[in-house]
Structures are given as C-alpha cells and as structure tokens.
Amino acid sequence: MKKVKEIMTQSPVTVTPQDNIYEIAVKMKEHDTGFIPVVASEGSDRLIGVVTDRDLVIRGYADKHSGSTAVDVVMTKNLQTATADMSVDDAAELMAEQQVRRLPVTEGDRLIGVISIGDMAVKHIFVDNAGEALSDISQQIH
C-alpha cells in the first residue's frame, strides 16, 4: 500500500502572515497552484494555515478587501492534515470527509509537503477512495 510520502509534493511554496493577499495571488499565478500553506515566519516550517484561490475570492476580494489585506484575514486556520506515513487510501478518505482536494502533510506542526487528488491521479493511484473523494467534491462545487 502506497504511503503519502511516496507521492506528496515536497517543499511546497509557502507564504507567511507578513504577506498580503495580492502577494499570495501572484505566487499562485507564478507557481500554477490554487493552494498555498501559511507558515509562521520566513524560514520557518511551522504550519499555521492555508490559503486557496477560493479563499482569496470569497473571503478576500468578494468581501471588498484590498490587495494589501493581511493573509490571516483569508486563511483557513483549523486544518486537517495528513502524515507522511499515512496510506494514500486514508488520505483520500480524509479528503472525501473534509470535502477538500489537497491536504498539508505534517510532522507534528512542521509542514513537510502537500498531497492532492491530482498527485494521486498523476501517480496512477486510482484507489476507490480517491475517485470517491473527487466525485464527492466535484458534486459539491457544481
């Protein structure tokens, strides 16, 4: 059975509370991602939240916040995370339960990677749970 550490994205792009929502949007564009973990400070790997492209739109710009608005206004703080030794099946099940497409991977409170449904698909891991997670999430969005 595959483990999360075998397919996760290591060393993901991160932001800190010192960044603003415009800077996050630019990083998302530069790195072609819609999900950026927030770490406590530059050079730190202590995970304190995440920001998705949806967070930027819904909690940021749609609420008429300017680009200079602080990260903590839009970030999600109470996170579900995966561990490196968790099975991919368990991670997919957690994604389905939480209705999310990505999970930060942590060791304690340290960010060590990110796993996504896309990682599972690219690595040809077509577990029942991953398919179910994607199906459930897609139905929620439409």
48, 25 contact by CB (below 8 A): no
Q: CB neighbours of 62 closer than 8 A, spacing ≥ 6? A: none
Number of other CB atoms surrounding residue 33 within 10 Å: 17
Q: Can you name the residues that pair with 99 across neighbouring β-strands?
A: none
pTM of the model: 0.84
Residue pLDDT, tens place only, 23-73: 999 999 999 999 999 999 988 999 999 999 999 999 999 999 999 999 999
User: pLDDT tier at 110 (50, 70, 90 boundaries)?
Assistant: very high
User: pLDDT tier at 113 (50, 70, 90 boundaries)?
Assistant: very high
CATH number at residue 41: 3.10.580.10
User: pLDDT tier at 121 (50, 70, 90 boundaries)?
Assistant: confident
Q: 13: closest CA among 34, 36, 32, 43?
A: 36
Q: How far apart are CA 122 and CA 97, in angstroms?
A: 22
Split into its structural domains, the chain has a count of 1
Q: Which domain holds residue 49?
A: 4-141
